[in-house]
Structure 1
Amino acid sequence: MYEHLSIPVGPSACARATTAKEASHRIDYTLSAARNTRVVALDEAAADVISEAAALEWGQARFYSASDPGDRLVSITGEDVALEHAIAESNTVIMVSVSGENAAAMAHIGKTCYTRGIMTAGLAMTADRLDSQALHHLRPYARVLLVPAEPDDLVELLRATRA
């Protein structure tokens, strides 16, 4: 019926995207390097959670446990490190708490990160308890707070921040 009509068909969007003109608009630089993320377990149960995440392959992420008052951290390999040294090159610190123990460590780490301009995140793994001590103690010191967090939330947060 309409065989006599000829409709000009231009190149498809995919074909246009490969032209030199379109290529000149592309961003041509590599993605930034992996973030120097530090993950700190604030109690024994949180240490179990981060040890599972630490077993995966990460770029610059390092994993620690803290004790009161938080000025010293213990790496996953057992090395004792000063907090200031552990976060010296860091741009993200993730604090993980299950029981809410070590309130002094949370405060010290949070305040140290604040004065250095380091982004903080907190995972309150409280199993649907929104009135937990973990949430209460993390809230003032975490710019990003996941409540109630699950163990796989730590892995997803590390992936999202390119750790």
Structure 2
Amino acid sequence: MSTPTQISSCARATTTEEARFRIDYPLAAARNTRVVALDAAAETIVRTAAAQDWDQARFYVAHDPGHDLVTMDGETVPLAGELEHSNTVVMVSTTGESAEAAATIGAACKVRGIMTAGLVVTPGQLSSGALLTLRPYARILLVPADEDDLVELLRATRA
């Protein structure tokens, strides 16, 4: 008498019965992410990330009051225009400078339903001016973040 052979889980996953559980639509398109540095040290971090190849991410520096952004090429552009087709904004701070710009950007994103994230790049410090600046305006907050965390965040969100 022979015993029936058990099929492996990999083989079972290819059966018609299991196929009905597969997701058969493509991954979502890359996010239209805007990354904004709020101080000089954050600008260095953002410039390093901007040097890599991204699909839809755009990189800026903001100064108080935050109605305009400065591109990595030095061009001044209105905040409202840059948020028009965006679905994610990442604010990066190391010192807590440009608190008014963070508030302006955060309020503009809230009105438009744009997801906001904040990177508090203060390795080893759980409390800082940067945390106090970003906390009210970032739905997702990475504290304390390392400089490499920006690139990892952008990769994770398919920027």
For 1:60 and 1:123, how far apart are their aligned partners in 2?
Answer: 19
| Bigger-Rg structure (1/2) | 1
Q: For this pair of structures, how many residues does the alignment match? A: 159
Aligned mate of 1:73, from 69, 74, 98: 69
1:128 aligned onto 2:124: yes
Gaps of 5+ in 1: none
TM-score, normalised relative to structure 1: 0.91
Gaps of 5+ in 2: none
Q: Tell me what 1:90 maps to.
A: 86
Q: Does 1:48 align with 2:55?
A: no
Counterpart-to-counterpart distance in 2, 1:160 and 1:140: 23
CA shift at 1:19, angstroms? 3.0
Q: Post-superposition shift, 1:132?
A: 1.4
**In the alignment, structure 1 residue 153 sits paired with structure 2 residue 132:** no
Stretches of 4+ aligned residues off by more than 4 angstroms: none
Q: Deviations over 1:89-116 (max 9, x none)?
A: 1111000001111111011001111111
For residues 57-109 of structure 1, give each alpha carbon's deviation from its aligned partner in whole angstroms, at most 9, with x where no partner exists.
Answer: 11101000001100000111222110011111111100000111111101100
C-alpha RMSD over aligned residues:
1.4
Match of 2:26 in 1: 30
User: Could you tell me how far apart the structure 2 residues matched to 1:141 and 1:46 are?
Assistant: 17
The TM-score, its normalising length taken from structure 2, stands at 0.93
Q: Which amino acid aligns with 2:105?
A: I
Identity %: 62
The Cα shift of 1:30 comes to 0.8
Q: Distance in 2 between matches of 1:122 and 1:8?
A: 57
1:60 match: secondary structure? coil
